[in-house]
Structure 1
Amino acid sequence: MNKRYHGNQPRHKQQILHSIFSIITLRLSFLQLEDPRTQRNIIIAEFFVFQVNTDVAIHGDNAGLGGLIRDLSGKEVAAFSVKLPAKEIHVLEMKAILLGARLAAEKGLTYTLLESDSLTAVNVINDDRTCPWKAISVIADIRDALLCLDNWKLSNVWREANVAADFLSKPTCSIEGVDIPVVDLPIDLLDIIVADSNGTLYPRL
């Protein structure tokens, strides 16, 4: 379009499609993904710069909320690991998404993809399902945080592709905070992040 406005010859639609495919392929190659053909990987590479994954783990009367922010190359940008009293799981999943959205907003991140393995929480926030009354205030806070992000999308992700956030939500996680310095991330988590960037999926037991 820009070239056409500047007087150059218009390109055939096949040339345009080939150009788009080449750009996507190049960016996926930069991500070093094993399977660049999946729809999720194409969406990440083409439209987003930062990826926020969140998760929740419940252990008796306690719950852990974990989240990790990475850039396009898969390098960690920020993380959080917070302990709270155990409540309804879907509300906790929404609170984890809230913490991730707020952390991304505080860091001024743009073109942000937020991912949670809670389909219920994702559907409620995306207005695809009626909001439980217990979560009304959390949903309002999430939408306020999302307004601070220039471009964002909230999607559901397989649990097997959400292992880094799961690690941060576990009681065995050795760090805690709403904005954990990346230099303090455990070695075990860094290994997971590298494997995830390479397309490895870990079955969660």
Structure 2
Amino acid sequence: MLEFLFSQYENYPNYEIVLELGAIFFGLLSVWFAKKDNIWVFPTGIINTAIYVYLLWKWSLLGDMMINFYYVVMSIYGWYHWTRKKDNVIEFPISRMNTAEKKWSLIIFVLTIAFVVIVYTFFDKFTHWTSYVDTFVTGIFFVGMWLMAKRKIENWILWIIGDIISIPMYFAKGYSFTSMQYLLFTIIAIYGYLEWKSILQEKKV
């Protein structure tokens, strides 16, 4: 069983394995802090995504690499957005998407996929089924990160969908540790959605 899961790492440089494990550690911390609606979701997420930008470039998963670069930028925006207060009250608490945000989500999704297709085509990277899956997942995660930065509960639904799809994709590419990370991400995201939903329901009481 262990050989089946980790034999692909035999020819990997040790530093890449260490970087992958380090990124996973900070990634799990980030998702846990997001679940708790804690501002530390952003600094831990920046470390995680900065490492993955490098690793994904090495692994030729350009769509996911761009996701992580985008995460770094959106984490900085989200960090600022979450700290904004008015009269000592959080200006942008957890909420649901409005009609305009739903339209923008669709626009971001379509434009992201179009951009990734152009990049993959330019670099001739549509050589494996994972490239097509990566393109679709990139669109999902771009919208999910935007919604998280805006503290919208629907971000969790997109994370759950994207995480589930990413599990077999990374396993097929030979990155078992990252595949297992997305399995844990899925579990935490489900609890995150339920926790944020509970917070919203308490506000209505």
Name the TM-score, length of structure 1 as normaliser: 0.27
> Whose Rg is larger?
1
TM-score, reference length from structure 2: 0.27
Greater helix content: 2
